[in-house]
Amino acid sequence: MILSITYNKDYKIFYLSNEECTYAFHIGDGGYLHHLHFGGRISEEDIRYLSRELKTEFAPAYNAREQYVSLDTLPQEYPIYGMGDFRETAVLIRTQSGNRITNFKYKCHKIVDKKPQIGGMPSLRGGETLIVTLWDQENNLQMDLYYTIYDKQSAIARRTVLINMYKESVDILKLNSFSLDINRFSFDKICLQGGWAKERSIERTPLSHGIFEVSSTRGSSSHHLNPFIALCDRNTNEDYGEVYGFNLVYSGSYSIKTQVDQLGFTRIGGGINEKDFCWKLKSGETFETPEAVLVYSEHGLSEMSRQYHRLYRDCLINSNYAYKKRPIVLNNWESTYFDFTEKTMCDLIEKAKGTGIDTFVLDDGWFGSRNSDTAGLGDWFVNTAKLQGGLKNVIKKCHECGMKFGIWFEPEMVSEDSDLYRAHPDWCIQVPNVTPCKSRHQLVLDFSNPEVVEYLKKAIGDILTENDISYVKWDMNRNITECYSLYLNAEHQQELMHRYILAVYALAEYLTSTFINVFFEGCSGGGGRFDPAMLYYFPQIWTSDNSDAASRAYIQYGTSMCYPLSTMSGHVSVCPNHQNNRVTPLKSRMYMASFCSTGYELNLNSLTEAEFEKIASHVRFYQSISDLILDGDLYRILSPFEGNYFAELIVSRDKKKAAFLLMKMSARTNDCYPIIKLQGLDENSHYEVEGMGVYIGNVLINVGLKFQNDLNDFETICLRLNSVK
């Protein structure tokens, strides 16, 4: 293992290196930090020539000795505002006089063996860390830049801390988690765009001059643009070419921007969205940004993804669950929606007996006066009109049938028709005398108010304490509008979005640490808050409300850009599909759900005996590859965004075992026979390919397997591979 952070006093260069990559920057003239290199591993040579001062007309100079020298022409590590750099700034602070000019320069640094955690926010664990302290002498402000490197991945974790040492308060208008200048712009940019039921579609376009932004102002990371962007060479594909990935460990309103400047530099930076953001930082107080994870790959997009997958499994997801067998659930939602009784639930549980399904999940409608989506949210007590024996009779039935019990909550919301709202109408996010927007007939609770969070700790905690519950699905089904808090005073109103998500983290931290034997799954109208920060608390997230097998090929392919298969929750549901009315083969639905954390939303009362046997067979199949889902390396082979096939291969770390999935999106007359090369195997090992024979690895890699050409619409093939002597 080669892992080191060093500082060369002669060159004034910091080097962060492991076996795969180096991140380097130096202290330039005037004390500003200039970026030098993020890429393949290099020796500790003098590469200051990469930040040689360039001359350009009309560029104001910070250095009086050279009229044409300007920060606007230099690759910055953390650019400041108003000192001659006209590109996107990383920081914008306003003093009480209205001054917005800050001048942060190098003061000192230290190297620590283990990274300090962020106060109140999720972040990666461990890693050797460099802390560079910058100082703004005029305003008495200290800024600490954190850089963490890991021994097994080409990744750098970055964040920023601001400390106000001035006698008066200042307003933080913008404070990026990271900024990076790359000395070229011939990139394609890749983002994950979408919407409800079509999350994280891959969109790849050439990077051009000007500013490009992926962002959210919704109070959540959102269905629409994931907090991720990649910059790659124009010829980069899954297995070849350079790529940089940038992912924010944050679940609230965020922004990541790229900018190509007049000299061909590419600047990328991101963090909390500065739109409608202003944080009052009082004298002596500290403000910490969320963390950003920067990954470099010189072997294409799949390798970038594997770096993220390994890093998040090893250093982000709760270590008690990252590699632990996941529950195989039956969720009642699409079977019954709100219309159920205790008998209905017990009948479903009885039907699931013997299939291998190990957890029954009672979804929305079990609490308060919740008989539709118009009432009851916030009243976290059992609706005994539906469940006469409370939850205990349903739980008892689960145990009798060899299953555990799980339940659904939506902690962040309230219905106007609820006991909670009638008692505390002031607990909602709302503007006085303004009729609020509603979505799904619900309002958002004001999590900046500590009383709200304390109520939820007790209400949800009581349910979990009084009942034998092993699984919780945490949902969140609308975004924030009328961004105003009756709890906060005027000078803190623009802090609400960030305070809200900090309180969500606090509630999640309390529940997951108090009820350590409960498995928590995240959800937000499907995959509307699928981000690294949520994965810190929830080892898996409901990937999309769209459970159609064909749609899931696109959704899961895009999600895998930076999130492991084990974090994606996907269920086998009925046909015609409830989201798009499509009919796909049951086998296809089962195989697609096998390449994530699997479960069911079928109405078992309507299934035939043969279909029950298929469920039991599918559960056995999934259990045979579940270790690959938890710990395997993913190789994306064919993209549904680019052709008529979806294909992925998961390979065990020791390369002795693999699973391959192929789906044909649409049948074509007299189609060609697909020949598919299987990447990631050991070239010299022989593999028994299920139903096809034994092949040496180099043949599977370089020649591939030939498949039948008469597959029907959305038909799948799923094969297991095992090395043989």
pLDDT tens readout for residues 242-251: 999 999 999 9
The whole-number pLDDT of residue 669 equals 81
The whole-number pLDDT of residue 666 equals 94
Provide the strand spans (E) within 28-119. Answer: 33-40, 91-94, 105-112
pLDDT at 111 over 80: yes
Query: DSSP assignment, residue 445?
Result: B
Q: Which residue has the higher pLDDT, 58 or 622?
A: 622
- Say what percent of the chain tops pLDDT 70: 97
Mean pLDDT throughout 524-543? 97
Q: CATH assignment of 637-724?
A: 2.60.40.1180
Q: Which two tokens stand for residue 67?
A: 């009229």
Q: pLDDT, tens digit, for every residue of 404-456? A: 999 999 999 999 999 999 999 999 999 999 999 989 999 999 999 999 999 99
Task: Count, in order, helices (H) and strands (E) of the chain.
Answer: 12, 38
Mean pLDDT throughout 91-114? 96
Residue 400 near residue 406, CB atoms below 8 Å: no
545 flagged as catalytic: yes
The whole-number pLDDT of residue 96 equals 94
Q: pLDDT, tens digit, for every residue of 252-284? A: 999 999 999 988 899 999 999 999 999 999 999
Mean pLDDT throughout 359-377? 97
Mean pLDDT throughout 500-505? 98
Domain with CATH 2.70.98.60 in the chain: 4-315
Mean pLDDT throughout 582-593? 96
**Which segment of 162-176, 182-196, 266-280, 664-678 scores lowest on mean pLDDT?**
664-678
- The 3-state secondary structure of 490-554, one letter per residue: HHHHHHHHHHHHHHHHHHHHHHHHHCCCCEEEECECCECCCCHHHHHHCCEEECCCCCCHHHHHH
First CA to last CA distance, the chain: 31
Mean pLDDT throughout 510-524? 98
Residue 156 near residue 148, CB atoms below 8 Å: yes
The whole-number pLDDT of residue 63 equals 55
The whole-number pLDDT of residue 60 equals 63
Q: How confident is the model at residue 83 (pLDDT cuts 50, 70, 90)?
A: confident
Q: How confident is the model at residue 122 (pLDDT cuts 50, 70, 90)?
A: very high
Write the class of the CATH domain 334-492: alpha beta
Distance of CA 196 to the CA centre of its chain: 16
Instruction: Determine phi and psi for 144, rounding to 5 degrees.
Output: -110, 125
Residue 379: other Cβ atoms inside 10 A: 21
Q: How confident is the model at residue 523 (pLDDT cuts 50, 70, 90)?
A: very high
| Catalytic option among 358, 417, 475, 631 | 475
The whole-number pLDDT of residue 65 equals 44
Angle between helices 450-466 and 496-514 (to 10 degrees): 20
The whole-number pLDDT of residue 673 equals 85
To the nearest whole number, what is the mean pLDDT of the chain?
95
475 flagged as catalytic: yes
pLDDT at 55 over 70: no
The whole-number pLDDT of residue 438 equals 87
| Catalytic option among 136, 358, 531, 545 | 545
Q: What is the third-level CATH fold of 4-315?
A: Beta-galactosidase; Chain A, domain 5 (2.70.98)
- Say what percent of the chain tops pLDDT 90: 90
Q: How confident is the model at residue 61 (pLDDT cuts 50, 70, 90)?
A: low
> For 335-353, b where at least 16 C-beta lie within 10 A, e where not — what string?
bbeeebebebbbebbebbe
* Nearest alpha carbon to residue 720 among 630, 634, 660: 660
pLDDT at 325 over 80: yes
pLDDT at 710 over 90: no
pLDDT at 68 over 50: no
Q: Which two tokens stand for residue 96?
A: 């009480």
Domain with CATH 3.20.20.70 in the chain: 334-492
